[in-house]
Structure 1
Amino acid sequence: MIKTLLRVLGDQYARPMRRTLALMAVAAVAEGLSYALLVPVLRELLGGAPESAVPWLAGFGAAVAGYAVLRYAADLSGMRVGTTMLRGMYYRLGGHLARLPIGWYDTGRVGEVSVMAGRGLLQAMGVAAHLLAPFVSAVVTPLTIVAVMSVFDWRMGLAALVAAPAVAGVQAYAARATAAADADRHERDKESTDRVIEYLQAQPVLRAGGRSGERFALLDDALRHVRRAARATLLATLPAAVGLTLTVQVVFTALLALGAYLALGGGIGAAEVLAILVLAARCADPLLSLAEIGGKLRGARAELDRLDTVLHTEPLPEPAKPVLPDRHDLRLDAVTFRHGDRTVLDGVSLSVAEGERLAVVGPSGAGKSTLLHLLARFYDVDAGAVRIGGADVRDVAAEDLMSRIAIVFQDVYLFDGTIEENVRLGRPGATDAEVRAAAHAARLDEVVERLPGGWAAKVGEGGARLSGGERQRVSIARALLKDAPIVLLDEVTSALDPVNEAAVHEGVERLMAGRTVVMVAHRMRTVRRADRVIFLDGGRVVEEGTHEELVRSGGRYAGFWELSVTP
């Protein structure tokens, strides 16, 4: 597990982690060596001159004090390294998640990432702060005590050493026995998290349909599965815990019998036997704690493995020698893109001149939104190339690429902050005057004026305190503030009331002015603002031309148009 931990941490944290491990090991050895002084202490106390034990007692006290200082330093180092790692790993995980392809975030990832970023990361990074010190002590201190016992009597030391492979075997058995239960527990945790999120998000729909009780039953089932999985994990670890206790007690009993035999035969003094048995008893405590510590470490190991898997998921590669496009025209050259077994785009070729407006029309599932995602390089194509200004987007640094593109999607997500903070995401360094100008152009100032708190009004998680039209105005203001030369629009007015639709249309017109635009259109009235239209069907461009040309041709687009204007 230590190897996995150091690999997950990376070079930045691996070195202080190694130093902390070394300090913990030294403290554990010091603890074991300090107990060696119990042998002369007991020998003198039980001998003819008990007062001669005073120097040995003083030495024992000094050794224990030294161990206490080392253990305090080791624990403090573990806490500091653990808290530093936790903060650093949150940044590392967040940064890595931001670089993964959008396709990685399928429906099952929400619960998985939620568990990982919450309890999972705390459990994994808590190893350094809470588990490593007792684990190292439970392993190194008994081995040191066995070495000390061997110095005083090799037979007793050898007998005690027999416990080492037995304890290791029990721990290995426990790991195998609980592996399946731990995996099932993780899956149940993820499922229950998904159900909780689904239950909360679906409240309006469920209540409108009078089905909230049924949905609660599904959530209750998921939580019941979590309880069963937790019970299964407990039952799987129980034999190992009992086996470890029996092993330690059997070895201690064997040492007791061997010590009595040696003492009765005159091979060793009674004081030495008593001291060695005290040492053996001191070995038993940390060994018995291995059952509990081992369970926690196995849980942390599983989280570390999952974290390691995510961190080793390949992000979209950055170019070794990035190029800077000197134009802002767009082109797709025979682009093919697959999602799983499904071909979403199949050999699509098209071009958009700088400053031109292209509308993308087609039935649901035709690949319209995917086309926008490829232009923004949310995914990499399976074949062909996407170009901006003649440069393949894979040869443009991600930061440079996104600085040239403003995106307004149909489903707007706002962060739980103020309206101003959400607008400033478009260009964090913008002046107040520039923010206000973008808001006015998007008619967001009308919303700000009627909200309590104005610009400081909180929008809630996902923008829950704003209507759909108000969230769109924030999104358009953000895009206007960014002032990017390329604009990608996924039909932004399909679910708005007339007042908000008019306001959003006005903001979109200002956003598109003088820019290269690709807009996905669900409402056909939006298409008339485009210079050119393509009709996608089955992942291919089946028609292309101006609105008037396509209407006159009487093809698929004309059929869509007739349906949109027919009362």
Structure 2
Amino acid sequence: MITMLLRVLGREYAGRVRRTVALMTATALVEGASYALLVPVLRALFGGSPGEARPWLLAFGAAVAGYAVLRYVSDRSGFRAGTTMLHGMYDRLGDHLARLPLGWYGPGRVGEVSVLASQGVLRAMSVIAHLLAPFLSACVTPLTIVGVMLAFNWQLGLAALAAAPVVVAIQLRTARATTATDTERVGREREATGRVIEYLRAQPVLRAGGRTAERFGLLDDALADQQLASRRATLSALPGVLGLAATVQAVFTGLLALGAYLALGQDIGAAEVLAVLVLAARCADPLLSLAEIGGSLRAARAELARLDEVLRTEPLPEPAEPLRPSGHDVEFDSVTFRHGDRTVTDAVSLAVPEGQRLAVVGPSGAGKSTLLQLLARFYDVDAGAVRVGGVDVREMATAELMARVAIVFQDVYLFDGTIEANVRLGRPDATDAEVRAAGAAALLDEVVERLPGGWSAHVGEGGALLSGGERQRVAIARALLKDAPVVLLDEVTSALDPVSEAAVHTGIERLMKGRTVVMVAHRMRTVRRADRVVFLEDGRVVEQGSHDELLRRCGRYAAYWDLTVVAGGG
């Protein structure tokens, strides 16, 4: 487990972890060795000269005091190490999640990451702070005491040592029995978390459907499955707990019987038998705690394994010697991209000269948005190349690529902060005047003027306090402030009302002016202003040319245009 812990945390924590483990082990050894002094203490007290116990009592007191100091130091070291590692783990996990390709964030990942980043990290990092010291004490202290027994009386020592393989066997069997149920329990926890998130997000739909008084069946089922899985996990661990308790009790009873037999045969005195029983009783508590500690350690190890799996997921590779583009033109060169077994884009070749606009049109599922994501390197292509300024995006540093690209999505996500803070994400070092100018260009100033608090108005989680059109204006202002030479637009007006659409179009026109633009659009109003139009279907380029040229050909684009205009989308 320590090896996995260091792999998850990173090697920079190796020295601290090893020092903490060594300190905790030394503490457990001193605790066990201190009980050796009970033998001469009890022998003197129950012998003919009780006064001879005084120096042994002082020695025992000094040993206990030394153990207390060591325990304090080791516990403090464990807490400090655990706190430091917790911060480090959150930083490392956050940095790694930010570098993973967006394709990794598939269905179910929200619940999985939510559980992992909250309960998972805390449970895994609790190993050093809360679990390692009692575990080492439960293992090392009884073994040390058994060593004392062997040195004192080999028969009683061997009898106590016989329990060791039984305890190990019980722990191993319990671990095997609970592995499957623990895995199921964690899976059900993830499912339940995902369903809770889904339930919260689905509130507008549920209320619009008049189902606010009904139970949400999927969530109820997930919670019921989680409860059953937790019950099965508890029941699977129960035989181990009972077996361990029975073993400890049987060994203690056996030692009592053997001690009595040896005492009756005058091979050992009553004081020695009493000392052995005291030592055996002292072994019982940590051994019995192994059941609980073992369960917690298995749970922590499972979380460590899941963290390790996430951290082993390869992010998109960074070039060893990144190249800088010489311009801002865009090229898709025989680009093929597959998602699972599905080919999303198939040998797509397109070129957008610097400063021109390309509109990508086609039915849903044609691969339009995927082209934008490949250009922004949310994924890497399976074949071909995507180039900006003549340089393959895979050969550019991520920061360099992101500095050259501004993206406005159809679904805008805003962070729970002020309008100004969300706009400043485009360029955090911008002056107030630059932020206001970007807002005015995006017609965001109209929104700001009517909101209480103005630029300091909070947008709510995800921008929930703003309308769709208002969120789009924030996104356009953010992109304008960024002032990137390449602009990617993904159906930004498809779900807006006419008034909001008109305002957003004004902001988009200002955003596109003088920049290289690749836009995915359903609204033909935007397409007409493009320098070149591409019709995409089933991941392939079916037609391309200017808007007027494609209409004259009377092909797939013309049919799509007529259908859209008839449907009122023009």
- Which TM bucket (shorter chain)? over 0.9
Q: What is residue 202 of structure 1 aligned with on the other side?
A: 202
- The alpha carbon displacement at 1:365 in A equals 0.2
Q: How does 1:104-503 map to 2 (within 5 A)?
A: 104-214=104-214, 216-503=216-503
Count how many residue pairs are aligned between Structure 1 and Structure 2: 567
CA deviations 1:346-398 (Å, max 9, x no partner) are 11111111111000000000000000000000000111111111111111111
Q: Tell me the TM-score normalised to structure 1 length.
A: 0.98
Confirm or deny: 8 A CA contact 1:123 1:300 kept in the other structure: yes
In structure 2, distance between residues paired with 1:368 and 1:213? 40
- The alpha carbon displacement at 1:563 in A equals 1.7
Deviates more, 1:306-315 or 1:205-214: 205-214
- The alpha carbon displacement at 1:101 in A equals 0.7
CA deviations 1:12-49 (Å, max 9, x no partner) are 22221111111111111110011111111111111111
What is the root-mean-square deviation of aligned Cα atoms in Å? 1.1
Q: Tell me the TM-score normalised to structure 2 length.
A: 0.98
- The alpha carbon displacement at 1:158 in A equals 1.6
CA deviations 1:312-359 (Å, max 9, x no partner) are 001101111111111111111111100011000011111111111000
SS at match of 2:79: helix
In structure 2, distance between residues paired with 1:64 and 1:416? 54
Q: What is residue 554 of structure 1 aligned with on the other side?
A: 554
In structure 2, distance between residues paired with 1:431 and 1:317? 34
CA deviations 1:287-306 (Å, max 9, x no partner) are 00000111111111111111
In the TM superposition, structure 1's runs of 4+ consecutive aligned residues that sit over 6 Å from their partners are none
Deviates more, 1:413-422 or 1:6-15: 6-15
In structure 1, distance between residues paired with 2:343 and 2:212? 38
Q: What is residue 88 of structure 1 aligned with on the other side?
A: 88
- The alpha carbon displacement at 1:211 in A equals 3.0
What are structure 2's unaligned runs of at least 5 residues? none
Confirm or deny: 8 A CA contact 1:199 1:215 kept in the other structure: no
Q: What is residue 10 of structure 2 aligned with on the other side?
A: 10
Q: What is residue 101 of structure 1 aligned with on the other side?
A: 101
- The alpha carbon displacement at 1:564 in A equals 2.3
Counterpart of 1:159 in structure 2: which amino acid? A
Confirm or deny: 8 A CA contact 1:356 1:516 kept in the other structure: yes
CA deviations 1:445-503 (Å, max 9, x no partner) are 11111111112211111000111011101111111111111100001111112221111
What are structure 1's unaligned runs of at least 5 residues? none
Deviates more, 1:306-315 or 1:269-278: 269-278
Q: What is residue 534 of structure 1 aligned with on the other side?
A: 534
In structure 2, distance between residues paired with 1:117 and 1:354? 42
In structure 1, distance between residues paired with 2:423 and 2:280? 68
Counterpart of 2:148 in structure 1: which amino acid? V
In structure 2, distance between residues paired with 1:214 and 1:353? 56
- The alpha carbon displacement at 1:529 in A equals 1.4
- The alpha carbon displacement at 1:178 in A equals 0.6
Identity %: 74
SS at match of 1:37: helix
Counterpart of 1:462 in structure 2: which amino acid? G
- The alpha carbon displacement at 1:157 in A equals 1.5
- The alpha carbon displacement at 1:210 in A equals 2.0
- The alpha carbon displacement at 1:214 in A equals 4.9
In structure 2, distance between residues paired with 1:285 and 1:420? 60
2:534 counterpart of 1:512: no
In structure 1, distance between residues paired with 2:7 and 2:271? 49
